[in-house]
Structure 1
Amino acid sequence: MYEPLVSVVIPFYSRVDWLIEATESVLAQTYKNIEIIIVNDGSPEKISEFLERYSSKITYVYQENKGAAAARNVGIKLSKGEYIAFLDADDVWMPNKLELQISMMIEKNSWWSHTNYVTFGLGKKEKIIDVSNFNGDIFPLCIISSPIATPSVVMRKCIFIDNPNIRFDETMKYGEDSMLWLQVSIKYKLLAIHQPLVKVRIRGSNSALMAYSQIKARADIWDKIKTDKIFNCKIKLSIFIKIAFCYCSVLYKLLNNLENKLDENFIEIISKFLYVFPWIIFKIEKKYLLNNRNR
């Protein structure tokens, strides 16, 4: 069986013990033609023991702290593989993840793919997230809702070679991955693999669990959509979705002004209450688009 080289990009900032778990899950893959690129995003942690243990098995690079988006972009630049797979340093892969995913991408002639995944951590019961309906032409659905887990994604490197403007947005602290999926989905159909091949660790800092982070991500995405001509000529959104995005944009500006005046936990409580309105609109619109697509 043909096994093209797969470059695995892992940005790292904290918790070396979790980085070890992530790295071991890559080394344990049944698919063996891989290179592991770890980008240290200015971590304050001591990782000399990690490097001593894995230096012969990885490509390692250090950069001043610029965020996960910048770290992933460095990994993309350094990659030599025909395919690029993303893995966060606190998540892990199932042993057959790459073998199954790469074989299905070759069989289906797919440009990019993602898989179901399992959430774990914080003492909660493991939960399987089914993303099988997020398949094929996901544009513009992915503007409204994007259940794609970054550690589940594999892409052909030629996407980045042919489109030098498609990269993780380094100006965004939250939602930079969703913005990339949006850019890619304009040109390429997505393959969804109906098997949980990734374990995504839930921690207090997960932006998907934080209302304030979601509001900021929505605000940033809306600003990008409004100013980018690539999106303007492609996107057709309902008036309700435009209102919801505008609401998030205004709301973020208000909350951002209060960030230095109020306790962080209190800001999050306010955000959860105020985010209910756009959250309902996004959920309704998502259901509407999925129902229409499945007819």
Structure 2
Amino acid sequence: MKRVGGNFKGIMQKLVSAVIITHNRLDLLKKAIESVLMQSYGNIEIIVIDNYSNTDTVQYLAKIPNIIVKREKKFVNGNIARNHGVQLAKGDYVAFLDDDDEWKSNKIQEQVRVLEQCSNVGVVYTGMEKVYDHKFKNKEIISDYFSGNIENKVFTGMFATSSSLMIRKSLLNQFKFDEKLTHWQDYDLLVTLSAVTLFYAISDSLTVINVNTISNQRLSNQFEKWQKATKYFYSKHNDRIVKLCPAYKRLMKLNYVNDALTRLDTKKGVYLKRVMYLFQRVYLSKSIKSFVYMIPGITFDKMRKFKSAKNNNK
């Protein structure tokens, strides 16, 4: 899509709801909230869904003025918490932020600019700066491949995460996060929305994503639950998937395999399983470079960290 620009004056009155989900990560939550308070766009309401956190988090949130806090009575699926945040949102636009992520200061301003100038766009997302284990940084400057009408190509790759999104509230009143899913929650919503609205990509890395590749407690690292969720995802969207062209179906399978390999990086005793997925990756990508990952100790995360460190030293 054509790059949006022009004067920002006159649209500051639109309210944006920033929905933050948190659970027992107080130090990170403080940084997330601070990144919202530091936004160049001023008309933002902060909604924090406290997903049954400990006492320290409760006490901290009680001291912050002018924010809306809803505490869950028990720990719930993250999608349930996000939907509760949407229910409380009064803004024209809703932006989501996980408690371990942050926004650059002009993130909201740039997204509002797009939605105000493009009435047929319902979802705006930004590029990301990924920080691996609080050490290695990698900026992902995205193209506009997933902009415009992406109803079919949406299945070929995961291009955004919840913290990079801004969505019109009118759409979220109709389409909610699927509360049955434990993984691919934001991706599933994007697939659903791609059938009813246009997307817009802001190439700049305005969202900071903190990636923890070490902790097995991190939900995104739990491979068996991920397998179950992806099976449900493909079944749910099967009516659209069967209509895809062969090229898109191949890329969809490659997207799945890449995600599987990333999640297997942190698991022990799965060498043969990784090899199986690697052979699939070679076949689907038509590149023998994937065989490098058969070397013991070489993982997707280590390669990303190496590339990030190399980029930082330039």
**Superposed pair shares fold, TM > 0.5:** yes
Paired residues for 1:181-196 under 5 Å: 181-196=190-205
- Counterpart mapping for 1:49-60 below 5 A: 49-54=59-64, 56-60=65-69
Q: Residues 67-86 of structure 1: matches in 2 within 5 Å?
A: 67-86=77-96
> 1:189-247: CA deviations, max 9, x gaps?
10001111110001135666776565444322112123xx6x47x843539938986xx
Corresponding position of 1:113: 124
1:255-291: CA deviations, max 9, x gaps?
A: xxxxxxxxx833655553333355556657xxxxxxx
Match of 2:27, SS state, is helix
1:29 corresponds to 2:39: yes
Corresponding residue for residue 169 of structure 1:
178
CA distance in 2, matches of 1:180, 1:31: 26
Aligned to 1:220: 232
| Matching residue's letter, 1:220 | Y
Q: Is contact 2:161–2:187 with CA below 8 Å preserved after alignment?
A: no
Residue 213 and residue 193 in structure 1: after superposition, are their counterparts in 2 closer, same or farther (change >3 A)? farther
- Equivalent positions of 1:38-187 (< 5 A) are 38-44=48-54, 46-54=56-64, 56-63=65-72, 64-109=74-119, 110-132=121-143, 133-161=145-173, 163=174, 166-187=175-196
Structure 2: which 5+ residue stretches go unaligned?
1-9, 261-265, 287-314
Aligned residues between the structures: 261
Which residue identity does 2:127 align to in structure 1? Answer: N
8 Å Cα contact 1:144-1:282 kept in structure 2: no
Supply the distance in 1 between the matched residues of 2:161 and 2:53 (Cα, whole angstroms).
23
Aligned partners of 2:279 and 2:231: how far apart in 1? 15
* Equivalent position amino acid for 1:236 in 2: L
- Please give the secondary structure, in 2, of the residue aligned with 1:11: strand
Q: Distance in 1 between matches of 2:82 and 2:179?
A: 10
AA paired with 1:266? K
Partner Cα separation in structure 2 for residue 168 and residue 279 of structure 1: 30
Q: Call closer, same or farther: CA 1:235–1:69 in 2, change over 3 Å.
A: farther
Q: Is the 8 A contact 1:11 1:39 kept in 2?
A: yes
Could you say which residue in structure 2 is the equivalent of 1:238? 246
Counterpart position of 1:274? 276
Letter in 1 for 2:186: D
Deviations 1:139-179 (A, max 9, x none): 22222311212111001111123x2xx21111111111111
43-52 or 97-106: bigger deviation: 43-52
* CA distance 1:279–1:114, change in 2 (3 Å): farther
Give the superposed CA RMSD: 3.0
What TM-score does the superposition give when structure 1 sets the normalisation length? 0.78
Q: 2:267 aligns with which of 242, 261, 265?
A: 265
Question: d(CA) in 2 for partners of 1:244 and 1:193?
Answer: 23
Conserved? CA contact 1:212–1:268, under 8 Å: no
TM-score (norm 2): 0.73
Is residue 2:21 matched to residue 1:19?
A: no
